[in-house]
Amino acid sequence: MLEFLARLFQRHSLSSKDVAKERLRLVLVHDRANISPELLQLLKDDLIKTVSKYFEIEEKSLEVTLDTSDDVVALVASIPVHRVKRSVKVASV
């Protein structure tokens, strides 16, 4: 968790070497998790759709990644929230 926070706050000061290293790490994680970029994009789209029901979010800044540690894959989503929606439309079944 601390590593994620450190990466989050250092995002703007990364060198091109660090950015390339992070991209390579993400590619390796995706390969190990056996998830295609298309599937990850579908997941991201579904997250946007679902979270947008309850919050006003900044879709352009939303980041979804997979992280591995100790042979466990974790889905990590960073979703900038502008505000909570006070009324939620409930779809009838």
pLDDT computed for residue 90 by the predictor: 65
- For 22-69, what is each residue's pLDDT tens digit? 777 766 666 666 777 788 788 888 988 999 989 999 988 888 887 777
Q: Is the pLDDT of residue 5 over 70?
A: no
Q: Please report whether residue 91 resides in a domain.
A: no
The conformation of residue 49, written as its DSSP 8-state character, comes to H
Q: Is the pLDDT of residue 82 over 60?
A: yes
Q: Is the pLDDT of residue 21 over 60?
A: yes
User: Which of these, 89, 7, 78, lies nearest to 48 by C-alpha position?
Assistant: 78
Residue with tokens 């990850």: 40
Q: Please report whether residue 56 resides in a domain.
A: yes
pLDDT computed for residue 1 by the predictor: 52
Strands of the chain (E only): list them. 55-57, 63-69, 72-78, 81-84
Q: Please report whether residue 1 resides in a domain.
A: no
Q: Please report whether residue 76 resides in a domain.
A: yes
Q: Please report whether residue 6 resides in a domain.
A: no
Distances (CA, A) of 18 to 11, 15, 22, 42, 51: 10, 5, 6, 27, 31
- Full domain range(s) for residue 64: 15-84
Q: Please report whether residue 4 resides in a domain.
A: no
- Name the domain count of the chain: 1
Q: Please report whether residue 65 resides in a domain.
A: yes
